[in-house]
Structure 1
């Protein structure tokens, strides 16, 4: 008679999954908003939208977004550091829906692992929960899948899904953008979560680094600098959407300046960027130097120090800039909207083209 087998023999440990849930419960509950119904353990997350005659939204438009962290995870595996990538997963989603004026309401994560390590899962999900809390967004559900033989032990992938809402009259679309509008740039925290296939090729293949090398220019190790999580912009930008007439917003993600800015423009308009307007973080200068990367390629791959762009009339932009600076925020006037063919021109001291 053949030897009896269990699911655990095939590499899936249900007990470890239950242990993971226990470790993350408090972090998840700390993100709940008043609209959340029920608790952990249901088949679906429940959220009562505050809409209607007496609610916050009179004509709510739901805005949704989904994304992952990408190959930045390879650096987390290399360094054994898993407490920051959860924020990356959240930020990539909430920042995307924010550009249409949406307040993030709730988030769900999907974490797939080769072999379930409850402590590792807890680190990742606590990062998700902390980012949700900072963004005012409830973590109402998720899935952890143990996929034995599919991912190497110690490795995983994480993605997320976010839903937000915006009052229809406040919805930000490209139709609002006008010639003469000004672009304000909000700083990034570093590379964020894009371009890491190139980053890894430059840093770990060409330079032969291991990730623990201290870099004077960065004030930390190269690995720690690269794992700096994507900035969360909702807390800064949501009050601006309520207070000012914003014509457009751009989250600088994959595709950099050249592919993302046109997404916020009507077909007959273009943008001129002055890259003298902000100080490029040193990580980008190092990557450009080590990889001998052409400047146009840098601006098409990375955020170059600007993670979010706000577009408004000159008068409104000046008021927004003054408001942000009074709140202690750093903000740069980085360009303007001109007539053109839906393109982006970058001029200044770093790159002319």
Structure 2
């Protein structure tokens, strides 16, 4: 199962925590271990036992101005502008044990603007990043991102635009198996492979997020069983399988066929309902736990005109004011 296996990475993404550790590290050494070398008029090098700790501008032996703060292994950790010992803007780096770059976060005036988290190079990935894109708050709004189920298994990895799935991506079930792999448009599946229970498989074009035209294996529902072949406009077209004949009440296939619609993809509809339920829980939790929040709904703009998506929880996002959490 693919899981969030980042360990303590989130701790080290906390810049304040990491800089405090650096200051504690310096304080644990006596003066004969620490050296400050003047590199130029404005550049000084602070070292511990000949290992660089900080290179850049200092004021009264405090990081101030342009500079680079290094980690215990002598690799750049913070690179940018410091103000009285506090990192203000620039880049923050993290590393795997073998020295490869794990993440690179860009800050502007103490706000995350862009970030990249790399997968290990020895693994052959079509998507080489955990995330790579523009931040809005603490999440990626545009670029490559990764989402997780409640059990921390990966739910989605791939491209995102305006907080919607857009471009190539992979959806996973909570047990780690692939559910969909292919292209997305405005949050919906449009062209790719869909995997289901009991060997069900579809590859082709989707309409409104559901299989439309392509090849299918082991399609089973109330109308057909184990159909393998091609479908057109969401219905079996050419192939073999079992078709419903009649039930205990004498209800036969011909009565089925006069119905306006037949739900050929009950399983995929179930997943859509589950996603809407999960988003509803997330939204409602935010509304209940915080005094102040704003609700947004997905929309499209055309020549300055706004058209909102359908009034459903799946299309809504609740943004909270972090300092307004209700007291328990």
Higher RCO by CA contacts (8 Å cutoff, separation 6 or greater): 1
For the aligned pair, the TM-score class normalised by the smaller chain equals under 0.3
Structure with the higher fraction of residues in helix conformation: 1
Structure with the higher fraction of residues in strand conformation: 2
TM-score of the two chains, using structure 1 as the length reference: 0.23
TM-score of the two chains, using structure 2 as the length reference: 0.24
